[in-house]
Amino acid sequence: MRLSARTDYALRAVIELAATGGGPTSAVEVAQAQQIPRQFLDLILRDLRRAGLITSQRGSTGGFLLARKAGEISLADVIRAVDGPLATIRGEAPQDLRYEGSAQALQFVWIALRADLRALLENVTIENVVTATLPEHIMRSVEVAAAWKSSPS
Identify how many contiguous H helices and E strands the chain contains and give both numbers: 7, 2
Q: Which residues contact 146 (CB under 8 A, 6 or more apart)?
A: 152, 153
Q: What is the pLDDT of residue 12?
A: 98
Mean of pLDDT over the chain: 92
- Identify whether 139 is part of a domain: yes
In angstroms, rounded to a whole number, what is the distance separating the alpha carbons of residues 74 and 79? 9
Quick check: helix, strand or coil at residue 132? coil
111, 143 contact by CB (below 8 A): no
- Identify whether 59 is part of a domain: yes
pLDDT at 124 over 60: yes
Count the residues in the chain. Answer: 153
- Paired with 64 in beta bridges are 25, 56
CATH number of the domain that 31 lies in?
1.10.10.10
Confidence of residue 33 (pLDDT cuts 50, 70, 90): very high
Quick check: helix, strand or coil at residue 128? helix
pLDDT at 5 over 60: yes
- Identify whether 101 is part of a domain: no
Count of domains forming the chain = 1
Q: What is the pLDDT of residue 91?
A: 85
- Identify whether 53 is part of a domain: yes
The arithmetic mean of pLDDT across residues 24-30, rounded, is 95
- Identify whether 128 is part of a domain: yes
The pTM score is 0.89
Quick check: helix, strand or coil at residue 64? strand
Range of the domain at 72: 5-84+123-148
The arithmetic mean of pLDDT across residues 134-146, rounded, is 89
- Identify whether 115 is part of a domain: no
pLDDT digit string, tens, across residues 100-117: 999 999 999 999 999 999
